[in-house]
Structure 1
Amino acid sequence: MQRYFIAPELLTETDVTIVGDDAHHIIRVMRGKAGDQVIVSNGLDREAVVRLREPEKDRVVADIVEWLPMLNEPAVEVWIAQSLPKGDKMELVIQKGTEIGADRFIPFQSERTVVQLDAKKEGKRVERWQKIAKEAAEQAHRNRVPAVEAPLSWKQLLERIGQADAAWICYEKQDGLQLKQRIQEALTKHRDSSVSRTAADGPTQAYTAEQRIKLLLIVGPEGGFTEQEVKAAEAAGAHSVSLGRRILRTETAAMVGLTCILYETGEMGG
């Protein structure tokens, strides 16, 4: 069943109004007619099966048929910080990362980043990236659309590390702990802190869905990170990790790292 994300204010207790590109897709592409059913989500806390009324010229009104549980989001938030790759690789990272289960994408520029964004075009680029995330979320039946942020400088990215519960920087020269071990460390630490919080404050103070553990994966450009950048990230609180013995392309590393995290946290049978 086709899925659409709509603005929260357009979804009421009894009906929904679909406008813009989504209405065009229903009317022109899907040839929707009265009685057809689709799924709509406000991307926050509500989604439902709805039945279309007769489509109008530029909007579609539909009646609520059934409210649905929102169970398709991972129990952890994974933020993908991706040094801007060449060509359309960022679009691939966002599309496939959304399908796999990323919660947020943070593009950034590092020392060996080749791409130099035009400030005048940055807004349109981010808008396109966000649209790609929305379409991928609809295809993958996500309950929400991952956020795509405006590109950050390296310094700005370092400041974001402290906002995550655990942060890892992928480094091909790392010969110590692999990502799997770091993930288990972070989960154990978070689990222990959750137990301590519950014991001290009572069961009602346990971690809620909004307090999911936040995991930041930092992926470098085609030329990789410099040793100075890795040291700076570690000083800011990140751990350098290996994704294995083989050298991965930057867009591959993002998807492999994300998949490993979700597997180890039980989202893919781990």
Structure 2
Amino acid sequence: MQQYFVKGEAISPVTIEDKDTIKHMFQVMRLAKGDQVVLVFDDGVKRLARVVNEAEYCFELLEDLPDQVELPVEVTIACGFPKGDKLEFLAQKTTELGASQLWAFPADWSVVKWDSKKLVKKVEKLQKIALGAAEQSKRNRVPEVTLFTHQADFLATLDSFDRILIAYEESAKEGERSALVEVLSSLSNGEKILFIFGPEGGLSPDEVAQFERKGGRKVGLGPRIMRAETAPLYALTSVSILRELM
């Protein structure tokens, strides 16, 4: 059954206003009176809904659904600006794997440079990708995408997290293999976790030192060195295995 995210409160009847959602519902999927879909509102609760007037894009809410697929901890993925379309890839895949937020910042060794105007357009594109991935993977919430113009702005947010984990290439090279499991195994449900990843060139020693002063802890991600777009997926998978499947 198709699932859609709808802004606002769950008050029946519901009129869909977002143009992209309307297009997909009534042109692509050809919904008609009596057809049922799942609607998810700002409260993250899934609700079964039925079309009552396709001409006015109107639905009635039938019942709340118990389906809850969010991770038991809130995971934010933060990456140094990578090259090419890697952020688009990460917006889709981190959403499918359960991230609550996707952030990116201008790291010391980031090759790409984006001004504030480009960042605004980039965020809009990435947010649409996250929305589509959240619908496809039947999420209860759509991850928020934030791109920081300055590294200092990113640093200022770190105090809002319960745990900060720095995916550091040198830790992996040195054979560190226990910190990630130790931290993830000790989490309590509801904690806010931040994973920080570097761009293609990794994180600079100065950056790592700044993150550590904010309470960050260096962790290795296994014995192999991963690409910038692969490491966040490994981290989210580890969270799911240790917090959901065990």
Establish whether TM, by shorter chain, passes 0.5.
yes
1:1-56 deviation per Cα after TM superposition (whole angstroms, max 9, x unaligned): 000001114x31x3221122111111110111111110001032433111112311
Once the two structures are overlaid, the 10-residue window that deviates more, 25-34 or 151-160, is 151-160
Deviates more, 1:144-153 or 1:244-253: 144-153
Alignment match, 2:14: 16
Q: Secondary structure at the match of 1:149?
A: strand
Q: CA deviation at 1:261?
A: 1.8
Cα distance, 1:155–1:92 mapped onto 2, change above 3 Å:
same
Show the counterpart of 2:105: 108
- 1:154 equivalenced with 2:151 (yes/no): yes
Matched letter for residue 88 of structure 1: D
SS in structure 2 at match of 1:32: coil
Aligned match of 2:223: 245
Matches of 2:183 and 2:5 in 1, distance apart?
36
User: Cα RMSD (Å) of the superposition?
Assistant: 1.8
- What is aligned with 1:84? 81
SS of residue in 2 equivalent to 1:223: coil
Corresponding residue SS for 2:147 = coil
Tell me if structure 2 keeps the 8 A contact 1:43–1:143. no
Q: What is the match of residue 4 of structure 1?
A: 4
Judge conservation of contact 2:179–2:220 (CA < 8 Å) in 1. no
Distance 1:103 1:80 in 2: 8
Any idea what the Cα deviations from partners look like across 1:149-170, whole Å, max 9, x if unmatched?
A: 1325322222322211111111
Q: Is the 8 A contact 1:51 1:62 kept in 2?
A: yes
Give me the whole-angstrom Cα distance separating, in 1, the residues matched to 2:123 and 2:21.
19
- Following superposition, the deviation at residue 260 of structure 1 comes to 0.9
2:42 aligns to what SS in structure 1? coil
Q: Which runs of 5+ in 1 are unaligned?
A: 192-208
Task: Indicate if the aligned counterparts of 1:43 and 1:145 stay in contact, CA closer than 8 A.
Answer: no
Deviation at 1:186, TM superposition (A): 5.7
Matching of residues 138-217 of structure 1 within 5 Å: 138-174=135-171, 175=174, 177-178=176-177, 181-185=179-183, 187-188=185-186, 191=188, 212-217=190-195
Is this contact kept in 1: 2:47–2:63, CA < 8 A? yes
Partners of 1:86 and 1:264 in 2: CA distance: 31
Change (3 A) 1:163 1:125: same
Query: Residue 236 of structure 2: which of 252, 258, 269 is its match?
Result: 258
The residue that corresponds to 1:131 in the other structure is 128
Alpha-carbon displacement from aligned partner over 1:195-231 (angstroms, at most 9, x marks no partner): xxxxxxxxxxxxxx8xx10110001000111122212
- Normalized per residue, the structure richer in helix is 1
Q: Residues 176 and 213 of structure 1: is their aligned pair in 2 closer, same or farther, counting only changes over 3 Å?
A: farther
- Equivalent position of 1:31 in the other structure: 30
Q: 1:245 to 1:187 in 2, by over 3 A?
A: closer
State the identity as a percent.
38
TM superposition score normalised by structure 2: 0.92
Amino acid at match of 1:229: E
Measure the CA separation in 2 of the matches of 1:215 and 1:183: 14
